[in-house]
Amino acid sequence: MTADSILDDRTSSDFDDDFEPFDLEGAPELEPERYLDREISWLAFNQRVLELAEDPRIPVLERANFLAIFASNLDEFFMVRVAGLKRRIDTGLAVPTNVGRSPHDVLSDISAKAHELQERHAAAYQQLVEPVLAESGIRIVAWSGLGDVEHEHLRSYFSKQIFPVLMPLAVDPAHPFPYISGLSLNLSVRVRNSRTGRQEFARVKVPQMLPRFVRVDPGESIEDARYVTLEDLIANHLGDLFPGMEIVEHHVFRVTRNEDVEIEEDETENLIKALEKELLRRRFGPPIRLEITDDMDDVTLGLLVRELDVTEQEVFRLPAPLDLGGLFDLSRLDRPELHYPTHVPTTAQQLQPSDSNLRADLFTAISRQDVLLHHPYESFATSVQAFLEQAAADPDVLAIKQTLYRTSGDSPIVEALIDAAESGKQVLALVEIKARFDEQANISWARKLEKAGVHVVYGLVGLKTHCKLALVIRQEKGGLRHYSHIGTGNYNPKTSRIYEDLGLLTADDQVGKDLTRLFNELSGYAIEKKFKRLLVAPLHLRKGLLKLIAGEIANAEAGRPCGIRIKVNSIVDEAIIDALYRASNAGVPVEVWVRGICSLRPGIPGLSENITVRSILGRYLEHSRIFSFVNDGDPQVYIGSADMMHRNLDRRVEALVRLNDPAHLAEIASLFDLAMAETTSSWWLDGSGEWIRHATDEAGHPLDDMQNRLMQQIGQRTRSGQRPRSGPRR
């Protein structure tokens, strides 16, 4: 089935604006227009991550982890966003951005901001984090600062564990300049031939499979240990790699390549084979960023710039060490006092086993009432994972249908589906093999599932299937009953421990029928245009949300209770933003809680003075999506997988489910009350696009950490068996 059969007649890329935003009567003239640039807004998000690394109140290994997250985020930004923008410029396909600026100007702005942030990132490590690590007994030392005993031990380690893996590559008339793989750390080496006196160039790749930080003396206590970087250790043994040659210069460099995947799909091609070919091409994408240590000489830099064909603005000169993503290794050190306090997720109260049973009967529990899950405060393993495992083992279960976008490498979810198929159940797995950077893993899972007898499908040509859905069909009392899970996050037990997400477990017959029709649409040829409790993209999600926003505007104009609360990872879609502007002009209070990109400009008189935007970052990645409407006192609240971006609304299958239980509505209202409170630590967005951190009160006392507060509240609620009872805000 093709996407054309269910898409409306308008699609747009993340870069192309092919429709006119709604007119706003009486709106002031704004420069630049009424949206914030999405790329600059993303960089502002990563700056907020960096501000956590700079915060001395956060445990130091967590600060090191935030430095690594910043680096990893920026790598992906260059590989995908910057690479995509450059590709469109080079092919002549680029059009003005969402704020009407030329792609060349935006690329220049991105470069300037990225240079500024990478320099700040390096300074945060050198001046703020590394000294505190040293005070805590984690010392990153240079080879030159070690004595003979340490040198002897490290020489032995190098000879046995590192030297055999290294592959020095010379550059001369017989050896062309080598291919530099993306994100690899490399040593550029200039050597002088002792016989001819001629200088030559060579490259040594730092092996990525070896530890980035090497213990100087494994006998040292973990509370007081010294480490050298792998590249420093290799650099001081270059004589072993180039015997008889004089080492003239050596420097570290790193290349980022275009690793976005572009697949031209048609109904006749084998999608897996096409994707595998594209994944091979990804490795050889053109360079888009060259990072070098600040001590690199001009001769070496000139050679790299010429051979890699990069521009001056694509060169980032930084102090060593490069690739602070390597700090992920250090951040995992077993030093509990240097981490956040341990948090053990609780089992949702409705799913807890009775005193007489070691394991709860989840079908009985779900049949009594809908269960709203909040991960990682409530356990994924004892809820969603247990639900699917029980379904796989239950002889009364006839069929399981599930979407898989990203999952863990040793996924118990996939194993449950395999077990179910091998026991004779009908099992359908919709595997999204185009999930960026998880393509190869998902191809492997798809093949493993197929071998076990699972019906594996890949969704619709031209669309990614991003919704998080599971449906279990069970024989009960002479009939069939539907048990459903609709979530905001992936079926990944590992990320469920660090991603904040919501999920609904329900035996509601209407939800089950909606999911049955949706799965039929995804695996077959049925075209269902109406759902009762779901809003589904790409056909109806944007339209449904616009209708709900219009309802709040009508209520405001009639003097009835109104209000809009939205929580998303990103909000870029102009139609949604313009509708929120209209709501603000009508007097509707609008609260937007966003983790990442926000193209909406709040607080502009005559446009958005009734809109408030907050962002919260912390130990958990805020990932849930919520859409809440007061609706004249009859709240309409949805949770699901969709962000307010063109790709989610136009080029992905997304699903939101409406919550009905009054306790669940009260819980969502309480969550927003906490997030938007002035006593909660958060970042506030102003109309110019600046995010201002509010972490302390006027007396300098720390504001509430929302995630810590939720840990306490949900833990107490689980122990007492109580969920919020107060009604949602009117």
Residues facing 482 on adjacent strands: 473
Phi-psi region of 496 (alpha: psi -120 to 50; beta: other; left: phi over 0): alpha
Residues facing 594 on adjacent strands: 568
Tokens 């040659």 belong to: 245
DSSP annotation of 172 reads B
The candidate with the shortest Cα–Cα distance to 515, out of 644, 366, 657, 659, is 657
As a whole number of angstroms, the distance between CA 37 and CA 32 comes to: 9
What's the residue count for the chain? 730
Secondary-structure breakdown of the chain: helix, strand, coil percentages, each rounded to the nearest 5: 40, 25, 40
Q: Which residues are catalytic?
A: 466
As a whole number of angstroms, the distance between CA 337 and CA 593 comes to: 32
| Angle, helix 60-76 to helix 38-53, in steps of 10 degrees | 160
Phi-psi region of 334 (alpha: psi -120 to 50; beta: other; left: phi over 0): beta
Residues with Cβ within 8 Å of 415's Cβ and at least 6 positions away in sequence, in order, are none
Q: What are phi and psi of 653, to 5 degrees?
A: -90, 115
Report how far apart, in Å, the C-alpha atoms of 481 and of each of 366, 373, 508, 658 are.
12, 21, 9, 20
Q: What are phi and psi of 23, to 5 degrees?
A: -70, 145
The candidate with the shortest Cα–Cα distance to 359, out of 375, 388, 385, 382, is 382
Strand 611-615 and strand 590-594: pairing? parallel
Tokens of 568: 């998303």
As a whole number of angstroms, the distance between CA 610 and CA 608 comes to: 5
Number of H helices, E strands in the chain: 21, 27
| Preceding omega of 341 cis (within 30 degrees of 0) | no
Q: Count of CB atoms within 10 A of residue 237's CB?
A: 16
CA dihedral 106, 107, 108, 112 (to 10 degrees): 100
Q: Where are the beta strands (DSSP E) in 349-396?
A: 371-375
As a whole number of angstroms, the distance between CA 535 and CA 541 comes to: 5
In one letter, which amino acid is 429?
A
Using CB atoms within 10 A of its CB, is residue 305 exposed (0-12), middle (13-18) or buried (19+)? middle
As a whole number of angstroms, the distance between CA 155 and CA 233 comes to: 9
DSSP structure string for 581-633: HHHHHTT--EEEEESS-B-B-TT-TTTTTTEEEEE--SSSEE--EEEEE-GGG
